[in-house]
């Protein structure tokens, strides 16, 4: 208990003074996970909208696969991306292994199924409400998808948040493809793992607190965005 209290005090001091490499690690974590979330949203939201409105043979199988991929193990994703990006892999010539870009790629693969599957559910419910009206207006599928994505934007913010939460909290994939290199690919989760194994609990705890704080701040920001988004908007 004494050790925890001491570590906690040191952690707070670290956060307040911005000591060590704390802020650099936090900055890189945000950069990688926000980047992955943006790319995953760009891919996953249209995919979710398409599956929400489309009816085709094998759709149920696709839904099962999409839902199953939500539980992709990060280490497996890390390993697969590693195999592609390693020098002997098919994309080795790009020289991306152990770079933040490789980490963004791994996290994007990890969270795109989450964004796609959750948005599919949200948009399918919405489409159930709008479908007859849209058919009455003779809309093209792209127009239907666009309308659903816009009208479902508040719920989709939460979907994006779920994806970001998964990305920023995972350690296995970024550890494998990033390598946890100091000042280059070290992010909060890999740093926490490293510092804990070294016994530097204050830094590990400080990073843990920042991680928790970030989750709160981002959730708060999304909640604050909602009333703004719900104001009458002429689009």
Partner 1 sequence: MSELTAFRTQAKAASPALSPLLPLEVRGLRLGFGGAPVLDGLDLRLGASGCTMVMGPNGAGKSLLLKLLHGLMAPDAGSLSWNGSPPGQATVRQALVFQKPVLLRRSVIANMDFVVRARGVDPARRDHLLQEVGLAHKARQPARQLSGGEAQRLALARALLTDPEVLLLDEPTASLDPASVLVIERIVAAARDRGTRIIFVTHDIGQARRMADDVVFLHRGRVAEHSRASAFFPTPSSAAARDYLNGKIVV
Asked if 125 is part of the footprint of partner 1 (rule: CB under 8 A), the reply reads no
Cβ nearer to partner 1, comparing 14 with 144:
144
* Secondary element (H or E) of residue 91: none
Q: What is the contact mask toward partner 1 in residues 85 to 124, using x (rule: CB under 8 A)? A: ----------------------------------------
Q: Does the CA dihedral 97-100-101-107 come out positive or negative?
A: positive
> DSSP letters along 181-199, please?
-TTTT--HHHHHHHHHHHT
Asked if 133 is part of the footprint of partner 1 (rule: CB under 8 A), the reply reads yes
Q: How much of the chain is in helix, strand and coil states, percent to nearest 5?
A: 80, 0, 20
Asked if 228 is part of the footprint of partner 1 (rule: CB under 8 A), the reply reads no
Interface with partner 1 (CB under 8 A), residue from 54, 137, 212, 225 = 137
Task: In angstroms, give the least distance from the CB of 128 to partner 1.
Answer: 11
CA–CA dist 170, 199 (Å, integer): 21
Residue ranges with strand state E in the chain: none
Task: In angstroms, give the least distance from the CB of 135 to partner 1.
Answer: 6
Asked if 8 is part of the footprint of partner 1 (rule: CB under 8 A), the reply reads no
CA–CA dist 27, 141 (Å, integer): 40
Going by C-alpha positions, the residue among 22, 114, 100, 30 that lies closest to residue 68 is 114
Q: What is the contact mask toward partner 1 in residues 146 to 175, using x (rule: CB under 8 A)? A: -x--xx------------------------
Task: In angstroms, give the least distance from the CB of 38 to partner 1.
Answer: 24
Asked if 232 is part of the footprint of partner 1 (rule: CB under 8 A), the reply reads yes
The answer to whether 42 touches 204, Cβ cutoff 8 Å, is no
Asked if 130 is part of the footprint of partner 1 (rule: CB under 8 A), the reply reads yes
Cβ nearer to partner 1, comparing 3 with 136:
136
Cβ nearer to partner 1, comparing 88 with 136:
136
> DSSP letters along 26-55, please?
HHHHHHHHHHHHHHHHHHHHHHHHHHHH--
CB under 8 A: which stretch of 51-59, 108-116, 135-143, 174-182 binds partner 1? 135-143
Asked if 132 is part of the footprint of partner 1 (rule: CB under 8 A), the reply reads yes
Going by C-alpha positions, the residue among 74, 156, 154, 149 that lies closest to residue 115 is 156
Give the interface with partner 1 as residue ranges (CB under 8 A): 129-130, 132-133, 135-139, 143, 147, 150-151, 230, 232-235
């Amino acid at each position: 208990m004494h050790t925890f209290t001491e570590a906690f005090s040191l952690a707070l001091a670290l956060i307040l003074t911005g000591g060590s490499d704390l802020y650099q690690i936090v900055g890189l974590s945000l950069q990688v996970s926000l980047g992955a979330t943006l790319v995953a949203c760009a891919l996953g939201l249209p995919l979710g909208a398409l599956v929400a409105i489309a009816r085709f043979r094998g759709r149920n199988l696709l839904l099962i696969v999409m839902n199953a991929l939500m539980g992709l193990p990060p280490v497996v994703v890390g390993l697969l991306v590693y195999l592609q990006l390693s020098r002997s892999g098919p994309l080795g010539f790009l020289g991306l292994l152990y770079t933040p870009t490789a980490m963004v790629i791994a996290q994007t693969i990890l969270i795109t199924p989450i964004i796609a599957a959750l948005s599919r559910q949200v948009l399918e419910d919405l489409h159930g409400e709008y479908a007859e009206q849209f058919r009455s207006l003779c809309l093209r599928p792209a127009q239907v998808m666009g309308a659903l994505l816009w009208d479902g934007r508040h719920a989709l913010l939460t979907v994006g948040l779920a994806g970001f939460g998964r990305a920023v909290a995972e350690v296995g994939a970024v550890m494998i493809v990033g390598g946890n290199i100091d000042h280059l690919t070290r992010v909060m989760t890999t740093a926490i793992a490293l510092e804990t194994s070294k016994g530097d609990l204050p830094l590990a705890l400080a990073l843990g607190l920042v991680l928790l704080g970030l989750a709160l701040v981002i959730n708060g920001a999304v909640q604050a965005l909602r009333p703004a988004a719900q104001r009458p908007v002429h689009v």
